[in-house]
Structure 1
Amino acid sequence: SIAVGFHLAEYLIRDVLTNISASNYALIADSNLVSIYLDEYVQVSKSVSDELFASKGLQAPRLFTRALPPGEMTKSRKIMADIENWLLSNAVTRDTCFLAMGTQSQYLFEYNSIGLSTTITL
């Protein structure tokens, strides 16, 4: 589905955590967006996770974040290998869901992934 509006972080995170079951979520963001959105998404994820899982005695999923440089240089096998090595070093499992923020981040994933667009261009 497509949600358009302002201040959608809680809505989006709640929707993802409720409808896409995963033991890990990896938010990969364009570094231009990190200072604008990342802290909010991490805080919202923690509070919604606590509400949905921890308060019921369930194991909350882990959230990992990673920033990628903007631009075409991120579209490489080396960057993908770096991300895969980072994921493996954090013992993520096959049921990880990727949240891609920024257009350069979205191409990376042939896995269970969700694009978190920050702008719409018509």
Structure 2
Amino acid sequence: MKILVVDDDIQLGRLIKGMFEQLGESQVDCVEEGREGLRRLRQEAYGLVLLDINMPTMSGVDFAVELGQQQPGTPCIFVTAAANEMAQAAMNVAQEAGVRMLGTLHKPFSLEQLETLLQQARSAA
């Protein structure tokens, strides 16, 4: 499965990519900015998008709305350090925009938590 990670924290993006590789996923692209992520989505189909909610130039929520317009039904996982209420509100907006939200990973998260959501994405494929 081709996976896109959109997170402004370069080190976290690399860590997440490494975690996916440990779980057997080798086709992982990481970008640091939402606009670059949307450009990638116009060029390639991704089976899963892992998305930081809080980014400086384009929020994860804004990205998710665009994702829903470009590729409705794309499975997505939010990554955040925000409170549960904020994460749930972001998920609601994304779902209303047509994104298939699999859940939220609250920082810091474990390999097992990522694996659980990855299995959901694999089942949906």
- TM-score normalised by L of structure 1: 0.47
Higher RCO (C-alpha under 8 Å, 6+ residues apart): 1
Larger radius of gyration: 1
